[in-house]
Amino acid sequence: MDCNFWCCSGRCYLGKMLVFYILFLLFHLHSGFAAICPRKCNCDLSRRVQCYRVGQMPKEIASTTKRLYISHSKIKQLQISDVSRLPALEEFVLTCSGTESVERNTFKALDDLRILELWKNKLRHVPVLLPATLEVLKLGDNLISVLNESDFEGLKKLRVLDIQNNLILALSSSTLSSLCSLQRLTLAGNNMESVSGGPLTLLNLKYLSMENNKLQSFPESFFTVLHMLLFLNLNGNLLTKTPPGLPKSLLSLTLERNQLKILRSEDMKQLTNLSELCMSENQLSSIDGAQFLSSLTRLELAGNKLRTIPVNLPATLQKIDCSNNLIEKIETQDFHDLQDLKHLFLDNNVVNTFEDGALQRCTVLSNLALEQNLLRSIPLSLPHTLARLDLKGNSIQKIQEQELKNLRQLQVLNLRNNKITALDHGLLKHLPRLRYLYLEGNPWNCTCDLFRTRRALAAQGTEVQGGQCSAPAESKGETWMSSKRILRLCIRDSLYSSEEGKAIQRKTNANHPSSLRVDMDDYYDYETD
């Protein structure tokens, strides 16, 4: 047979046809694909289309598209005809596109639409007549000022509603009453001065934020039936009282940056599951009923007007922040039962008295902030678990052995801006794990005792900052941790005074004078600068 590689009489024809057919198919697939992906868009096999910087709604989007994302575009008006050709749409995201209005009923016919996001546009209203299939609706960063009674009607599957950073002035609970599946609602960053109506009947709501509005109060029963609510964020409002009737289910309540003056037992009583209570930056002068918060792990009270530590703090607490208050005295009973406490912030108060052993029973405390107070010495009997102790900006003059002798875990010690002149090298054996020591802003008297401390610090690998000498006059401005002058002065001193020095001296005398140099080089090994 005269067959070449490809062609063999009749079969040759078939082979040619096959090649042609495959080419035809490939070409068609390719051109067909190109036709359904519009310019400036990306289309992928999961029927997702992403468009960027388009001047209008692209016309050629495949009707089978399930997810459509458009951003940084110019689409002033969204019309029914823009999406009516896309009946399979499940997710529609149009953001940062200057959209001002949405034609009535635009989304109504999209029977599979689950996610609708229109954030960062210029909408003045919630789009009218949304499909009942919606599960997620995000309208943040628009210009919506009024929520209409009917806006969310029929959205029984909606789980997430985000209308943050709009211009909403008021909210009536009935506006949201259809949203029986809603789990997450954020109305943060609006201009709401009031909310009205009966209880919010969002029986599945877990997370609610009305942060950064102008709310002054809530109706008596507003929160009472939110039986699933876990997180409530009311930071940055004008509340003078804790909202009444908070649900028992709450895990986290944050009311920072309001105008609360007192916290009463009746506000707290039912919150037995609360783990986190954040009330920083209010005007709180007293807190009652903390003992009811039997699950509390974190208590934030910074920036208030407390003169004493709140009484009866629950034993479950792990972190307490009472910084920036007016506390003068820390007493033995203040932290008596807090055996889980790890972080305690008492900085920026006016503490001048810290009773001995006031933290003794906090047997896992690792972080204690006492900077910017009026302490004249380091508190006694601090827990041996401390890893970090900040005493910056107090009036400490002297550091005594009994204050440090327990702190074998201490890694960071901040003594900046006190009145310390000396630090005995013998103290350092009590701080074997010290890694950072801050010494700036103290009037160090740079005697050769400090030089011994320098050697001990270098030997245990502590990183030291600061240590400028105020005295004696000839060392003024030098830093005792690094000064070569002090090194020279004190080596001579130690050679002629310490046991070690005497040994070197004997050796030197016995042998050759130049052996002194060798020993000086050893000292240089401890240099840290």
Ligand X SMILES: *[C@@H]1O[C@H](CO)[C@@H](O)[C@H](O)[C@H]1NC(C)=O
Nearest residue to 353 via CA among 392, 319, 371, 327: 327
To ligand X, the closest distance from the beta carbon of 279 in angstroms equals 21
Site for ligand X contains 397 (CB under 6 A): no
Residue type, 84: S
Nearer to ligand X among residue 125 and residue 452 (C-beta): 125
Nearer to ligand X, 147 or 182 (CB): 147
Residue of 382, 441, 442, 439 whose CA lies nearest to 406: 382
Among 221, 249, 252, 482, binds ligand X (CB under 6 A): 249
Separation in Å, CA 262 to CA 244, 267, 519: 14, 10, 67
For residues 459 to 498, the per-residue mask of contacts with ligand X, x marking binding by CB under 6 A and - elsewhere, is ------------x---------------------------
Residue 395 CA to residue 123 CA, distance in Å, equals 58
Minimal distance, residue 245 CB to ligand X, in Å:
13
Q: Is position 416 an interface residue for ligand X (rule: CB under 6 A)?
A: no
The yes or no reply on residue 217 touching ligand X (CB under 6 A) is no
Taking the complex as a whole, how short is the minimal distance between the CB of residue 463 and ligand X, in angstroms? 26
Closer by beta carbon to ligand X, 201 or else 421? 421
Least Å distance, CB 71 to ligand X, is 26
Backbone angles phi, psi at 505, to 5 degrees: -60, -45
Closest CA to 335 of 318, 347, 349, 350: 318
Looking at 70-145, list the stretches that DSSP marks H as alpha helix, in order from N- to C-terminal side.
Answer: 80-83
Q: Which of 64, 148, 196, 363 binds ligand X (CB under 6 A)?
A: 148
Please, what is the minimum distance in Å from the beta carbon of residue 134 to ligand X? 18
Q: Is 445 in the site for ligand X (CB under 6 A)?
A: yes
Please pick, from the candidates 312, 421, 498, 508, the single residue that binds ligand X as defined by CB under 6 A.
421
* Smallest separation (angstroms) from ligand X to the CB of 502: 21
CA 388 – CA 382 distance, rounded (Å): 11
Part in contact with ligand X (CB under 6 A); list of ranges 143-151, 286-294, 301-309, 375-383? 143-151
Q: Quick one: which of 172, 173, 216, 273 contacts ligand X (CB under 6 A)? A: 273
| Least Cβ distance, residue 107 to ligand X (angstroms) | 16
Q: In this structure, what token pair is assigned to residue 192? A: 């709401």
Residue 259 vs 421, nearer CB to ligand X:
421
Stretch that binds ligand X, among 88-96, 145-153, 278-286, 321-329 (CB under 6 A): 145-153
Spatial distance between the Cα atoms of 421 and 443, rounded to a whole number of angstroms: 5
Indicate the length of the chain as a whole number. Answer: 529
- Residue whose beta carbon is closest to ligand X: 249
Q: Determine the Cα–Cα distance for residues 85 and 23; give it in Å rounded to an integer.
A: 31
Contact 363, 383 (CB under 8 A): yes
**Pattern 3-22, binding to ligand X, x per CB under 6 A?**
--------------------
Distances (CA, A) of 153 to 80, 150, 156, 237, 335: 20, 5, 8, 28, 52
Shortest gap between Cβ of 146 and ligand X (angstroms)? 7
Residues 270 and 252: their CA atoms lie apart, in Å, by: 13
Binding of ligand X at residue 352 (CB under 6 A)? no
Residues 6 or more apart whose CB falls under 8 angstroms from that of 280 comprise: 256, 257, 300, 301, 302, 303, 304, 321
Please say whether the beta carbons of 364 and 340 come within 8 A.
yes
452 binds ligand X (CB under 6 A): no
Contact assessment for residue 134 and residue 157, using Cβ atoms and an 8 Å cutoff = yes
Q: Is 228 helix (H, G, I), strand (E, B) or coil?
A: coil
- Residue 248 within binding range of ligand X, rule CB under 6 A: yes
CB 362 within 8 A of CB 342: no
Beta-strand runs (E) in 370-467: 388-390, 412-414, 436-438, 444-445, 463-465
| CB of residue 313 to ligand X, shortest distance in Å | 20
**Residue 211 near residue 140 (C-beta atoms within 8 A):** no
Nearer to ligand X, 90 or 449 (CB): 449
Of 125 and 392, the one with the shorter C-beta distance to ligand X is: 125
Say which amino acid occupies 519.
Answer: D
Q: Given the complex with ligand X, which of 149 and 401 has the nearer CB atom? A: 149
Among 56, 64, 150, 353, binds ligand X (CB under 6 A): 150
Residue 63 or 150 with smaller CB distance to ligand X:
150
Please report how close the Cβ of residue 383 comes to ligand X at its closest, in angstroms. Answer: 30
**Closer to ligand X at the Cβ: 270 or 385?**
270
Please identify, using beta-carbon distances, which residue of 149 and 266 lies nearer to ligand X: 149
The minimum distance between CB 278 and ligand X, in angstroms, equals: 19
What DSSP letter does each residue of 2-50 carry, written as one string? ---SS--THHHHHHHHHHHHHHHHHHHHHHHHHHHS-TTEEEETTTEEE
The number of residues that bind ligand X (CB under 6 A) is 11
* Sites for ligand X among residues 119-138 (CB under 6 A): 125
- Binding to ligand X by residue 294, rule CB under 6 A? no
Q: What sign does the CA torsion over 331, 333, 334, 339 have? A: positive
| Residue (148 or 528) nearer to ligand X, CB | 148
CB of 445 to ligand X, least distance (A): 4
- To ligand X, the closest distance from the beta carbon of 113 in angstroms equals 21
- The binding site for ligand X (CB under 6 A) comprises 125, 148-150, 248-249, 273, 421, 445, 447, 471
